[in-house]
Amino acid sequence: MRWLGMLAWVVSGSALAQEGSPALANTWAEAKPTFKLPKDVKDAQWTTGDGFSDNVYRSKTGTLLIRTGIDSKSVGYSPGYYSNTTVEWNLKTNQAETVDVANWSGGSYGHGKLLPAFKDRPTPSPRHTYDGLAYVESEDALYMMCGANWKTCLGEGVDPEAKEELKKDNASTWKFSFVEKRWTRIDGSIRQFWDEYKSSPYESHLRYWPEGGKLLFLNDSGRLYAEFDLKTQKWEKAELKGKCPMTLYEARSTWDSKRALWVFRLGPKLCTFDPKAKEFKELSNAYELSGDKKDPRGGMKGITYISKHDVYLINGPTAEDTWVYDPIKSAWSQVKAGGPKLVNGYLQYDAQTDLVVLSYQLTAFTFHYQP
């Protein structure tokens, strides 16, 4: 009987581990979610060539929205190395369900066409999203704008209607409602200000500002700033006070909910942006690079705000390269972390499970930070 009791305890402990909770504090653990393809597409296959699409935390449900790709000859999905799919990872069950697949044929390899389902259910085109995704909890909605999608309508056999829809796409802001389970195209995008700034859709940044009731946009240089009013559904350009102290090209970001600050990170460099004051502030470097141009720590992107402990956490290529920043003390400390080699992916924090989650396509890790 004692043996059966021990067995039950081991099985129960294994189940908890499978639900994404690492056994030890300050230890990275590979999560290995079960990624589920659409049931109604028999020949669906994952395609994971896109290395430039972010993830987003859906705070209303405590789940992670991950961008990836699905290919299907029978339906016509063919994103190439763009992402055309959103999957939702439930951290408690470790299951990841397909939420949405773009109703487009063609992607980075061109030959774009609209699938028959597009007529009744328009969707954004396949793309690199970069940091251009934002979740609004009060609406339970995901917003998307910009990114790299121009190759979709290159090459022979492009559907003329697809070319027209791609033009509309680029002049729009997209909203996915989890209540309605569909995308809505909103007229207007940041592109209406590009003639003045000669900006680019690449490596742009989008974030929800709860106190202001707006979406915030910054381009890859941090020079073009605009706000989207969620009530009026309109974009307005705003003037910045001072220059961004670092490049935002290839940077990623998090939201400091205590101070209402947008926090950016690329390698050892970080800065904050205050939407009220329209000002940037440079933070001290997290670490010093070796001087070798191939030092992988120079291009790491992961950053998240841990509200429970009021720190910013960043990851590196190994568990030992985990650092936290204390905004009150303005000081960095290296976490004595353990675990496997990590990926240069994107970090989020789930307050419900008190877990930091790192994902890159279908690869995922979890981390329980303990000061």
3-state class (DSSP) for residue 144? strand
Collect all residues with Cβ–Cβ distance below 8 Å to 4 and sequence separation of at least 6.
none
54 — pLDDT class (breaks 50, 70, 90): very high
Query: In this structure, what are the phi and psi dihedrals at residue 10, rounded to the nearest 5 degrees?
Result: -65, -45
* Bridge partners for 252 per DSSP: 265
3-state class (DSSP) for residue 107? strand
Predicted pLDDT at 9 = 29
158 — pLDDT class (breaks 50, 70, 90): very high
Collect all residues with Cβ–Cβ distance below 8 Å to 118 and sequence separation of at least 6.
103, 104, 165
199 — pLDDT class (breaks 50, 70, 90): confident
Mean pLDDT confidence for 90-103 = 97
Mean pLDDT confidence for 116-136 = 98
pLDDT of 141 > 70? The answer is yes
Mean pLDDT confidence for 104-124 = 97
Query: CB of 90 within 8 A of CB of 63?
Result: yes
202 — pLDDT class (breaks 50, 70, 90): very high
Mean pLDDT confidence for 132-160 = 96
User: What's the pLDDT tens digit per position in 263-284?
Assistant: 999 999 999 999 999 999 999 9
Share of the chain above pLDDT 90, in %: 90
pLDDT of 292 > 80? The answer is yes
In the chain, the amino acid numbered 15 is A
Q: For residue 234, give the DSSP letter.
A: E
User: What's the pLDDT tens digit per position in 344-355?
Assistant: 999 999 999 999
Query: CB of 104 within 8 A of CB of 118?
Result: yes
Q: Choose among 328, 332, 340, 338: nearest CA to 368.
A: 338
104 — pLDDT class (breaks 50, 70, 90): very high
Mean of per-residue pLDDT scores for the chain: 93
Cα–Cα dist 243/234, whole Å:
25
pLDDT of 232 > 70? The answer is yes
Q: Choose among 365, 360, 351: nearest CA to 322.
A: 365
User: What's the pLDDT tens digit per position in 176-192?
Assistant: 999 999 999 999 999 99
Angle at 275 between CA 271 and CA 277, to 5 degrees: 95
Mean pLDDT confidence for 96-121 = 97
pLDDT of 3 > 50? The answer is no
pLDDT of 23 > 50? The answer is yes
pLDDT of 25 > 70? The answer is yes
pLDDT of 7 > 60? The answer is no
Predicted pLDDT at 89 = 98
Query: CB of 76 within 8 A of CB of 84?
Result: no
Cα–Cα dist 343/365, whole Å:
9
Tokens for 35, please give them. 């990624």
User: What's the pLDDT tens digit per position in 70-91?
Assistant: 999 999 999 999 999 999 999 9
pLDDT of 241 > 60? The answer is yes
Q: Choose among 304, 131, 280, 129: nearest CA to 206.
A: 131
